[in-house]
Amino acid sequence: MNPKRMFLTLLVLCSLFLVVGCNGVIMNAEYSQLLDRTASLSYQTTLKADAGDLTEVQMKDALRVQSEVWLAFKNAKDGKK
């Protein structure tokens, strides 16, 4: 699978998780803002990737940043800071 297709697939899966997996979750303002920014970043990154406006390095950087956000949410869920 080529990197662009893998990147887009991961973004779609993350987006689906946001729509389906977070129904009814209550979070503090910090995590709410972080979630909003990450969802917006994912959407904008997908648009740019679809248009062919991202390099492979930019796609990797976007995935890295988004994975760090998901790790922050997981750590918060697990009681880690």
Residue 35 lies in a domain: no
- Any long-range contacts for 38-45 (C-beta under 8 Å, 24+ apart)? 38/66, 38/69, 39/15, 41/65, 41/66, 42/11, 42/14, 42/15, 42/66, 43/15, 45/11
pLDDT band at 27 (very low <50, low <70, confident <90, very high): confident
Residue 77 lies in a domain: yes
For the four alpha carbons of 45, 46, 49 and 53, in that order, the dihedral sign comes to negative
Q: Say what the pTM is.
A: 0.57
pLDDT score of 24: 56
Residue 57 lies in a domain: yes
Better-scored residue on pLDDT, 22 or 7: 7
Residue 1 lies in a domain: no
Residue 5 lies in a domain: no
Residue 67 CA, chain-centre distance (Å), reads 7
pLDDT of 77 > 60? The answer is yes
**Using the 8-state DSSP alphabet, how is residue 80 labeled?**
-
Q: How many domains in the chain?
A: 1
Residue 75 lies in a domain: yes
Q: By residue range, what is the domain housing residue 55?
A: 51-81
Residue 73 lies in a domain: yes
Residue 12 lies in a domain: no
